[in-house]
Structure 1
Amino acid sequence: MNLNLNPLHFYQTTPEELTSNILKGVDHKLQGFVDRFRPSKNEEEELLTIEETLVILKCSNQTLWNWRKEGILPSYRLGNRVYLKRSDIFSKLTKQDFNG
Structure 2
Amino acid sequence: MNSKEIRIYNLSPDEFKESIRSVVKELMPQQKKNEEKLSTPDELLTVDETLKLLKCSKQALWNWRKKGILPAYRLGNRVYYKKSDIFNKLVKQV
Question: 2:52 is matched by which residue type in structure 1?
Answer: V
Q: Which has the higher helix share?
A: 2
Runs of 4 or more consecutive aligned structure 1 residues displaced over 2 Å after TM superposition? 10-14, 31-34
Question: 1:13 is matched by which residue type in structure 2?
Answer: L
Question: 2:34 is matched by which residue type in structure 1?
Answer: D
Structure 1 unaligned blocks of 5 or more: 1-9
Q: TM-score, structure 1 length as denominator?
A: 0.60
Shift of 1:37: 8.2
Q: Which has more radius of gyration?
A: 1
CA RMSD, aligned part only? 3.4
- How many pairs were matched up? 82
Match of 1:66 in 2: 63
Q: TM-score, structure 2 length as denominator?
A: 0.64
Identity across aligned pairs (percent)? 54
Shift of 1:13: 2.9
Structure 2 unaligned blocks of 5 or more: 1-6
Match of 1:75 in 2: 72
